[in-house]
Amino acid sequence: HHHQHHHHLGMGRSSHGDVGSQTASQASSSSVASLARASYYSVEVNEGVAVNSAILQVRAIDPENDPITYSIIDGNINNDFSINSKTGTLMVANKLDREEISAYKLIVQARDSGGLANSRPIHVLVTDSNDQNPIFNQAQYVFAVEEGVPAVGSSSSASDGYLLGRVSAHDSDEGENGRVSYSLVPLDSGTMTALAGAPYAHAAPATAAVNRQPVFAINSTTGEIRLMQPLDYEQARSHTLLVVAHDNGENPRSSSAMVQVRVLDRQDETPYFEQFHLETRLD
């Protein structure tokens, strides 16, 4: 006939996850170390946790007080976790990487000296730490614009400027750690000075700094770069900017790309005829 055994499944608190202990009852016809099959452990671990950190205490109670041996029998990808066979302490064995593997389903087994065994799943969820840089989809961007655009006094130039193009960077971290913002840094030494403004971060030539109207502006959210003042081909045939992408984590990470703005000649040095004064002297 069947004996009713109560197996207590305890779980230690750890600094990396706080999970309550559970009790499960299970009918068993023999004395077997039991990790109740009905429920499972779930624990969260930050990907930045140090190797050999204990994350969970698995405990099976054998009705006969036999010594129990613990092991991970499945789901241990890359052997990223280890378990102390005597104590049931689950530990991180390798450096975790959420961007590579964000969840594990480990099958842990408890076996008594008589060879009777029971197993149950442990779900390990890997949480994000800000360890990824934003990456631009191009190392260099080249935009071209005709000189004299946008035309001074045109209605659009006051607010929108002329859209040169858009830069884009992706950060594979989660949440704010992966939300990218953009800014511009002028690289033409001596000729440009940076001006800040929201939602645009501005870069402008020193000559234009007097009226505080930026020449180039970037939308910090969309990465759209606009020309706010017309360029002069005779003055400079290209302008070099550095676009910086940073995430919004607590300790932001950033990367940069080059932006070259080429000025197209509009042939405004039109050839013209000199006025020849022809005098005809009639003697």
Q: Which residues sit opposite 25 in a β-bridge?
A: 6
Q: What pLDDT, on the 0 to 100 scale, is given for residue 281?
A: 67
Closest CA to 251 of 148, 93, 143, 133: 133
**Token couple for 235:** 């003055």
Closest CA to 236 of 213, 215, 257: 215
Provide, rounded to the nearest whole percent, the portion of the chain with pLDDT above 70.
68
- Could you give the CA distance from residue 106 to residue 32 in angstroms, rounded to a whole number? 21
Cβ contacts of 102 within 8 Å, gap of 6 or more: 125, 126
Closest CA to 222 of 179, 178, 166: 166
- Could you give the CA distance from residue 80 to residue 103 in angstroms, rounded to a whole number? 11
- Could you give the CA distance from residue 142 to residue 252 in angstroms, rounded to a whole number? 27
Q: What pLDDT, on the 0 to 100 scale, is given for residue 268?
A: 58
Q: What pLDDT, on the 0 to 100 scale, is given for residue 275?
A: 61
For residue 276, the Cα-to-chain-centroid distance in whole angstroms is 69
Mean pLDDT, rounded, of the chain: 78
Q: What pLDDT, on the 0 to 100 scale, is given for residue 241?
A: 94
Q: How far from 132 is each of 7, 80, 148, 193, 249, CA to CA, in Å?
A: 44, 20, 41, 30, 10
Q: What pLDDT, on the 0 to 100 scale, is given for residue 151?
A: 72
Find out whether 252 and 197 touch, Cβ atoms under 8 Å.
Answer: no
> Which residue numbers in the chain have pLDDT < 70?
1-40, 152-159, 188-213, 268-283
In residues, how long is the chain? 283
- Could you give the CA distance from residue 218 to residue 167 in angstroms, rounded to a whole number? 9
- Could you give the CA distance from residue 174 to residue 44 in angstroms, rounded to a whole number? 15
Q: What pLDDT, on the 0 to 100 scale, is given for residue 155?
A: 52
**Token couple for 247:** 């995430």
Q: What pLDDT, on the 0 to 100 scale, is given for residue 97?
A: 97
Closest CA to 106 of 66, 62, 68, 58: 58
For the chain, which domains are there? Answer: 41-127 (2.60.40.60), 135-191+213-264 (2.60.40.60)
pLDDT in tens, 172-213: 999 999 999 999 987 764 334 333 333 334 444 444 444 456
CA trace torsion 88, 94, 100, 101 (10° rounding) = 0
